[in-house]
Structure 1
Amino acid sequence: MSRRPNTRTSRLVRTVGMASLVVLCQFQSHRMTTSAMLASPEPFFEEQPNGQVVQLQLHGDTYDSWMTDMDGYTVLRDPSSGSFFYAEDDGHGGLQPSGHLVFPNPDNHNRNLQQRHLRPSKRDCQGMICGDDDDDQRNTVGGGGGTKHRSDRRSLRGKQIVKDSKTIVDEIIAKSKHRFNMTNTSSSPLVDPNGRRLRSIGTLRNLVVLIRWSDHQNRVLPSKENIDILMNHQGPHPLCPTGSVRDVYLENSYGALDLQSTVTDWIPINNTESYFANGNSGRSQRIREAIRYALEYLDKNDLVDFDYFDEDQDGYMDSITFLHSGYGAEFGGTDQFGTFYTNRIWSHKWGLYDIPFVTQSGVEVLEYHISPSLWHRVGVSIGRIGVIAHETGHFLGVPDMYDIDGGGVGLGTFDMMANSWGFDGSQYFPPHMSAWTKLLLGWMIPYFPSPGVNRVAAAELQDATHPQVFVITEGFPTGEFLLVENRQKLGFDSIMPQDGIIIYHIDHGSSTAMFYESLRREGHPGQADWPENGNHYGVAVVQADGLYQLERGINAGDAWDFYHSDGIDSLVPCRDPTACQYPNTDSYQQGIVARTNVHITDISISGEEMTFKYRVGDFETEEPTPAPSMEPSVHPSLGPSEQPTRCLGTGQRCLAHDNCCSGFCMYRKKRFLGMCR
């Protein structure tokens, strides 16, 4: 069916000028493939055929997932027997069961050091984990790769994106300043590489399609009315006690984006959950069959006016969400009906790139995202807002901000696009998007700090007329800079373990592959020849404690990553090139380390408005040697009567002048903090 013309006189055109206009089309194509949800941080229990119960944990995302025991030893499930074995290398880049069963209290006889943190190769992932005959799900560098089905038009656009990607930072900084001064116009639409306009400002009409697998006809599912509450209700409700998906975007965008959803009735699908999961959590072409079937059902029966959801009249659905009748594969384990996670659907955003669906009226559905309508692996509780909000972010064009190969965690819980489970894992508190992601969506305005004292309001309480983030470019090469934002325990960020200033180090000048490559090249002082080895995230949180735990995959963010006067209150250049303190404000693009002379000092006590001093220049002689204070021996939330011990015990972090009970503080190379020995 041919697509109808893109002009329509019967409806008002509402295309909004935005901060980064063509910029989003550059980064959105980093993966014209799968964007996904991270695995649940919650361990699960499985029963071996011999009756023993073992505790396991799922890692990764829909593109690349694996199981381990609680000590990090890789585990495989034998589908024929249902037994869980420790994994071993099969000698061909893949994994196979070792023959050693996982036991409740494993010992060294059942596993060895070589089995720890084993991962399948990319070849193995593409052939088995990501789905047979599914080349389209590969991560593509700059959008230039993909399957033989992808049109030449899209491939050519991908090549152009590679050529232009180094200009992204300059364009964002230059254009986002004008976002609030631009009027609605159809002359400067924001489009993705396939021609679909991306909307992150104004009212966004979203169609929510409820699909019921053929073997779920007798399951108790959330009603259409309850799903409407989950998607649209403003403010807390028993079904969404912290707010709805709509609230997530109203809060993150400072009212700039109003996601208004229309929910369908439950649509009976023509096959089972396990058929569409295909043994790999829905990472194959089969899931697209279900999406097309549901769309054809709605279209042929005239159940939806698809034109209503193409408000900008570009010929594409503005926004569409699918919620299915099963439990999410991202929870891992076996659900209450005996279905293992590989036979359930992992939440993801993907596209119908090979054969796009076109309605009878000519509206094309090119992309979709899908999430579970039910929470966890048991019960009938309605799904939660975190996963739906995360996948909706992909539909707006923003990428995953986690480390896509699992070496670290990327931005961790400092960006909903990196971890929408939240600090407590409940998905009731999906964290705010980072300042970087909000810049990409046109929701913040970059300001350059002035010499002296600068004030920054909490990211959660920004003035909707000019939400600000500080951008520091002085001394940095093109494409590299710092972002400074104030994150407070408010709204969806209210359960953070601490609040204060968060500083990001952005570098997209050294890689045309932007997010695919730059979010898998974690760098930290424990690596050989770092930072000269060129390893670092393209978007990195400069963690105040200097422990680089996000890069090392130790946690997804903690209280010691914030800057404030009660802890670490400055970030300055490397003072001694022969023994640098980390982190610092030096540039490191392409492994070329250079002092920027940027000093961010005297950061205030944490609060809804914070201040910091900014200057560019050499060290002043009276300035003390920059180093973070020791990590408190008590949590910051403890009362004033609960004091830390007078000396630090063995194993606690320390500085040279600290009093270790054991007598001395031992340092490792290139570390801010040592350890009492």
Structure 2
Amino acid sequence: MTDQMNKRKFRCPLGIMVALTVAASPSLSPANPPVPESDGPRSNPFIPHAGYIRGQKQARIQRQAAPLTGAPPAGGLRGTRKLPVICVDFQNVPGPFPSEEYQEMLFGSINDRKTMTQYYRDMSNGMLNVTGKVTGWHRLPQNDSYYENGGNGVGTPFGELLQFGLEKADAELDFGEFDNDGLDGVPNSGDDDGKVDTVMFVHPELGGEFRSLTPHNIWSHSWHYSEPTYGHNGPFITKDVRRGATGNPLLGANGAPLHIVVEDYVIQPGLDEPKAGQPPTIVKIGVFCHEFGHALGLPDLYDRTPKPKADSDGIGHWCLMAAGSYGGNGQRPGTPSEMSAWCKQYLGWATIVNLEGNSVLDLEAVAERNLIYRINVPGTDNSEYYLVEYRNAAWKDPADFRINWDEHLHGSGLAIWHIDDRVGTKLPSGGNNSNWPFAGFDAGQNDSPSLPLGTSPVTWRKKHSLVSLMQADRRLDLEKRPGGGGDADDILASDSEWGDDPQFLFGSRGYSNNSTGFQITDVDLANLTCRIIVANHPIAGSPAPGGIVAPAQATAPTVASASPTGPESRLPRARFFNTAKQKVLGKINNAFSKANPNRLRTKLAGIQKTKATPVSG
């Protein structure tokens, strides 16, 4: 990357910030999975204006207040989010595929598979419906090299590209339809912030991230229109008027109508990675899903430290917001990996069960309905904790409503995540940011790998990641060997266990060496189920029939947050998918009121009935 590119310091997804190793043979496909390459930590991080953050904050407040008011916890981010997608091509490079094909690829109908719409429907438990409108191709007045400007798309020429595309789209679209960050679920209705939530651009070539193939092409990134080097004096002002709750125009201080503006944008290529001997193919959804994750407030969860100093893989292929935008094996951008447990918790899309004592659990694939278990680290005010989810590459939805986005993962087992929400509470300038994790910027929260330090005694390095995957093989490859993206030995499989580890390689202690007292043992992945024991360390009791330990005391887990909060959240599994599909189609099922409220398949020794108690999390 050029020095000029470094000065701009874009936010780019790992899946597209890659250096491809091209084999000596005529094949153009990479010899290895894409390798992360960041454009450097930002000294002046951009704070996006997308109003999703405001909605998340208010939903968080409602969830925290629920136990005090007796009201059910509010759900996570929900409703419909509509995105404008603007296709622009060059005088010398026309659009490679009709814009209608990009419409289908991103927002295809209910029967289409592996679209961005389907991905976010699955990640959100049916709570978020992502749709949009693709416009173009709009022919730019110059050749591609003019807008690349010697630096993968920089300076005033690139600013002209953005302005040209927005002006063309402004003649076709009502940008008010794309400002829907308020809480009423109605776009441009008075409680929205007057800014288009996110605009997506598509250019007709390969991305500049394929450096050995396209050293000068536009680099895929997420940034803002008012970047000073673009030559704009603020956001793009559309022709569309802001409106209040009654539909009347909102007026400014001078009495003139206010207009919808565009500030946040992302740009991606129109072509996928080339394959030797095959015609060009349309870009896949992985990059789009990753970038839209930023629009929802998610940070990059890979190590953005620029080469040659990049020292880790972040969380590799195990999450969309890291290398998972290229799939579970790094080679399937059309099937991006599931979001990690932390991302789903952050957005309010998971059922989080607090584990507080000895219990026998039956875990289900997290792809089924986002069931995740949580273990809080003592003495951290619940800001440090572990999340446990069952990632099953072989899971199939019996109702054929959901897709298993983990189908290309390295293997199946328990992913155990070490979370420290305190990472990111300091801005690079040193100022406090009390709103993390609802901060509207990406400050490199996973740039510092979580590694043990010293030998006697062993401690954690002071700087560590927001989200770390505890790796069952204890090799810490994600932290020490960037470029691999992970392997099957990272997660807890049959005949392995997790518990106290004074060497900090695969243990349940906190970053201050405080013990959680938890173990996970007797893992059994037979028949696509995972039956485990979570017990206070050391385990009390004796083996019961079948080799399962019967704990001496049992404590019911509590539900920390649940989503969705509608009646479908209480349905048994098979019924849940059918009714969820009906709800997405806009139909009401009167069977909801008769649904079985016991949707957690949790077996507790000595407990007759589990009472799910909402608590602040």
* Residue 375 (structure 1) aligned to one of 245, 248, 272: 272
Contact 2:237 2:262 in 1 (8 A): yes
**What are the superposed Cα offsets for residues 623-668 of structure 1, whole Å, 9 maximum, x if unpaired?**
9xxxxxxxxxxxxxxxxxxxxxxxxxxxxxxxxxxxxxxxxxxxxx
* Residue 586 (structure 1) aligned to one of 502, 509, 512: 509
* Residue 445 (structure 1) aligned to one of 331, 343, 351: 351
TM-score, normalised by the number of residues in structure 2: 0.66
Report the equivalent of 2:577: none
Matched residue type, 1:36: P
Superposed displacement of residue 244, structure 1: 1.3
Superposed displacement of residue 400, structure 1: 1.0
Superposed displacement of residue 319, structure 1: 3.5
Report the equivalent of 1:139: 42
Report the equivalent of 1:454: 361
SS of structure 2 residue aligned to 1:290: helix
* Corresponding position: 1:433 with 2:339: yes
* Corresponding position: 1:502 with 2:415: yes
Superposed displacement of residue 364, structure 1: 1.1
**What are the superposed Cα offsets for residues 453-499 of structure 1, whole Å, 9 maximum, x if unpaired?**
1233211111xxxx431111152523110001111114221111211
Matched residue type, 1:228: Q
Report the equivalent of 2:515: 595
Contact 1:210 1:264 in 2 (8 A): yes
Paired residues for 1:342-381 under 5 Å: 343-354=216-227, 355-361=234-240, 362-377=259-274, 379-381=279-281
Report the equivalent of 1:264: 135
SS of structure 2 residue aligned to 1:329: coil
* Residue 309 (structure 1) aligned to one of 160, 163, 178: 178
Matched residue type, 1:213: F
Matched residue type, 1:268: R
SS of structure 2 residue aligned to 1:602: strand
**What are the superposed Cα offsets for residues 500-520 of structure 1, whole Å, 9 maximum, x if unpaired?**
110000013355247635411
Contact 1:176 1:444 in 2 (8 A): no
SS of structure 2 residue aligned to 1:586: coil
Specify whether residues 443 and 174 from structure 1 end up closer, same or farther in structure 2 by C-alpha distance, changes over 3 A only: same
* Residue 254 (structure 1) aligned to one of 106, 109, 125: 125
Superposed displacement of residue 350, structure 1: 1.0
Report the equivalent of 1:109: none
Matched residue type, 1:458: A
Matched residue type, 1:582: L
Contact 2:341 2:389 in 1 (8 A): yes
Separation of aligned partners in 1, 2:298 and 2:95: 34
- Higher RCO (CA-CA < 8 Å; seq separation 6+): 2
Instruction: Structure 2: give runs of 5+ residues left out of the alignment.
Output: 1-7, 181-186, 228-233, 241-258, 396-403, 427-435, 437-441, 544-617
Superposed displacement of residue 329, structure 1: 1.4
Specify whether residues 297 and 207 from structure 1 end up closer, same or farther in structure 2 by C-alpha distance, changes over 3 A only: same
Contact 2:387 2:418 in 1 (8 A): yes
Separation of aligned partners in 1, 2:410 and 2:31: 27
Separation of aligned partners in 1, 2:156 and 2:11: 12
Specify whether residues 510 and 365 from structure 1 end up closer, same or farther in structure 2 by C-alpha distance, changes over 3 A only: closer
Report the equivalent of 1:564: 493
Contact 2:90 2:143 in 1 (8 A): yes
* Residue 389 (structure 2) aligned to one of 485, 494, 519: 485
Report the equivalent of 2:581: none
Separation of aligned partners in 1, 2:281 and 2:34: 22
Report the equivalent of 1:470: 373
Report the equivalent of 1:659: none
Specify whether residues 561 and 318 from structure 1 end up closer, same or farther in structure 2 by C-alpha distance, changes over 3 A only: same
Specify whether residues 274 and 553 from structure 1 end up closer, same or farther in structure 2 by C-alpha distance, changes over 3 A only: farther
**What are the superposed Cα offsets for residues 81-132 of structure 1, whole Å, 9 maximum, x if unpaired?**
xxxxxxxxxxxxxxxxxxxxxxxxxxxxxxxxxxxxxxxxxxxxxxxxxxxx
Contact 2:10 2:223 in 1 (8 A): yes
Separation of aligned partners in 1, 2:493 and 2:290: 29
Separation of aligned partners in 2, 1:44 and 1:359: 44
Report the equivalent of 1:36: 13
Report the equivalent of 1:295: 166
Superposed displacement of residue 525, structure 1: 4.5
Contact 2:237 2:261 in 1 (8 A): yes
Report the equivalent of 2:80: 203
Separation of aligned partners in 1, 2:384 and 2:146: 46
Specify whether residues 593 and 458 from structure 1 end up closer, same or farther in structure 2 by C-alpha distance, changes over 3 A only: same
Separation of aligned partners in 2, 1:372 and 1:175: 44
Separation of aligned partners in 1, 2:454 and 2:223: 35
Report the equivalent of 1:231: 106
Specify whether residues 493 and 55 from structure 1 end up closer, same or farther in structure 2 by C-alpha distance, changes over 3 A only: closer
Separation of aligned partners in 1, 2:475 and 2:36: 23
Superposed displacement of residue 541, structure 1: 0.4
Contact 1:62 1:347 in 2 (8 A): no
Contact 1:357 1:366 in 2 (8 A): yes
**What are the superposed Cα offsets for residues 16-59 of structure 1, whole Å, 9 maximum, x if unpaired?**
xxxxxxxxxxxxxxx99524344347422689xxxxxx999975
- Identity score, percent: 24
Superposed displacement of residue 232, structure 1: 1.7
SS of structure 2 residue aligned to 1:363: strand
Contact 1:228 1:262 in 2 (8 A): yes
Report the equivalent of 1:627: none
Instruction: Structure 1: give runs of 5+ residues left out of the alignment.
Output: 1-30, 48-53, 65-137, 162-166, 185-198, 335-339, 624-677
Specify whether residues 414 and 172 from structure 1 end up closer, same or farther in structure 2 by C-alpha distance, changes over 3 A only: farther
Matched residue type, 2:345: L
TM-score, normalised by the number of residues in structure 1: 0.60
* Corresponding position: 1:512 with 2:403: no
Superposed displacement of residue 359, structure 1: 0.4
**What are the superposed Cα offsets for residues 122-180 of structure 1, whole Å, 9 maximum, x if unpaired?**
xxxxxxxxxxxxxxxx625xxxx459xx99xx9xx9xxx9xxxxx99x97984799999
Count of matched residue pairs: 456
* Residue 421 (structure 1) aligned to one of 309, 326, 336: 326
Matched residue type, 1:487: R
SS of structure 1 residue aligned to 2:524: coil
**What are the superposed Cα offsets for residues 406-435 of structure 1, whole Å, 9 maximum, x if unpaired?**
311111111011011111413122100001
Specify whether residues 518 and 621 from structure 1 end up closer, same or farther in structure 2 by C-alpha distance, changes over 3 A only: farther
SS of structure 1 residue aligned to 2:150: coil
Report the equivalent of 2:153: 282
* Corresponding position: 1:221 with 2:221: no
Contact 1:36 1:63 in 2 (8 A): no
Specify whether residues 559 and 382 from structure 1 end up closer, same or farther in structure 2 by C-alpha distance, changes over 3 A only: same
Separation of aligned partners in 1, 2:31 and 2:391: 35
Contact 1:352 1:365 in 2 (8 A): yes
* Residue 544 (structure 1) aligned to one of 472, 478, 500: 472
Matched residue type, 1:372: P
Contact 2:63 2:73 in 1 (8 A): no
Separation of aligned partners in 2, 1:376 and 1:172: 44
Specify whether residues 447 and 331 from structure 1 end up closer, same or farther in structure 2 by C-alpha distance, changes over 3 A only: same
Separation of aligned partners in 1, 2:542 and 2:529: 28
Contact 1:62 1:346 in 2 (8 A): no
* Corresponding position: 1:401 with 2:295: no
Which is further off, 536-545 or 470-479? 470-479
Superposed displacement of residue 449, structure 1: 1.9
